[in-house]
Copies of this chain bind each other. A is one copy, B any other.
């Protein structure tokens, strides 16, 4: 903290009292701390934040140094936003939907069930007004943020038993969080939230019947295939999950322009880099999981249809209670529907011919 405070004092004083040479002023030595919402073993999620810190150092000849911490080292994984708001740390790397307890509107900027996929979500954030809506929300917490990475479409999770109909969801103890949990509750399941480290034992001893986590690369590490072999697709509640680099507004304002640009561009790099890493690693992991006994399954159509209805009902319900949610949902839905129509034309028509064709030779 000392170095940060020292810099803070110097930065505030300099323009008023010193005729500092231009070059020194534009390249001050700055030390920040950046906390990840993820533990080290989730190497892509954790590693994306670490790369942002490294890239900023590289771009500034090591004059802007950001120490990077895993979840729990200085801040608990689910308290990153609070710590950035309080100024305990200058920045954090996290999905903002961890904070739907404060305001459900946070969900839009990470992932909404039956929402935008990774590419569509970034288009919305960067060009469709999403970042501006996020900024209005973030401002209430004294923070600003840059989109900084996406997982791509996630899997629907690991189930001890096959789900052949909506009936099979009744009473099912399913580790699934946030708005997706609400949707499954409406379908009769019992959604529970359990920390990552407790999932495997709970599944093994039967406290849980099913669990959703991320996708093949991350799921493989947690060993779910050994106790729940039915691996469902798609994770319709996360067609993409976007992360943010959250920054304390006051600290950001103190930075010289080139350092602000370094944070922005390093985050922008993460938008394609994290997706590319997942797109590279997931196919290999899926192959190993199938070899280890995973049974790839797809949701019955009636489960998808009922979930779609419940999701949209939920958004209407929440719009009635929360003006901000209503405003964002109205804009998001119109944007989503137009993106979906376009993606059917060029992307899906290619995918639906070519992806199966390669398997048939």
Contacts and interface: CB of A to CB of B under 8 A. Distances in A.
Interface in A53-73: 55, 58-61
Given A59-B261, A152-B347, A341 B354 contact: no
Nearest to A304: B353
Contacts of A354: 114, 236, 239, 308, 340
A23 interface: yes
Interface string A287-317: 1000000001010010011001000100000
Interface string A108-127: 00000010011110111111
A356 interface: yes
A342 B90 CA distance: 38
A352 interface: yes
Interface of A: 23, 26-27, 55, 58-61, 114, 117-120, 122-128, 152-155, 215-216, 233-236, 239, 256-258, 261-262, 265-266, 268-269, 271-273, 275-277, 279-284, 286-287, 296, 298, 301, 304-305, 308, 312, 336-359, 361
B272 A268 contact: yes
A341 B120 CA distance: 22
Give the most central of A119, A282, A355: most B CB within 10 Å.
A355
Contacts of A119: 118-119, 152, 275-276, 279
A346 B273 contact: no
Contacts of A356: 344
A299 to B, nearest CB: 8
A258 B154 CA distance: 36
Contacts of A58: 257-258, 261
Contacts of A261: 55, 58-59
B343 A348 contact: no
- Stoichiometry, copies per complex: 2
B338 A283 contact: yes
A281 B126 CA distance: 12
7 contacts: A23-B23, A61-B256, A117-B347, A233-B349, A234-B345, A236-B353, A282-B342
B59 A59 contact: yes
A334 to B, nearest CB: 10
A340 B353 contact: no
A21 to B, nearest CB: 10
A118 B337 CA distance: 21
A80 to B, nearest CB: 23
Choose among A269, A337, A347, A359 the residue with the greatest number of B CB atoms under 10 Å from its CB. Answer: A347
Given A275-B119, A276-B122, A345-B296, A337 B351 contact: no
Contacts of A26: 61
Contact of A359 (B126, B269, B276, B337): B337
Contact of A55 (B265, B275, B337): B265
A282 B346 CA distance: 10
Nearest to A356: B344
A258 B152 contact: no
A315 to B, nearest CB: 12
Contact of A347 (B153, B256, B280, B296): B153
Q: Which 5 A-B pairs have the closest CB atoms?
A: A127-B280, A123-B279, A234-B350, A283-B342, A271-B272
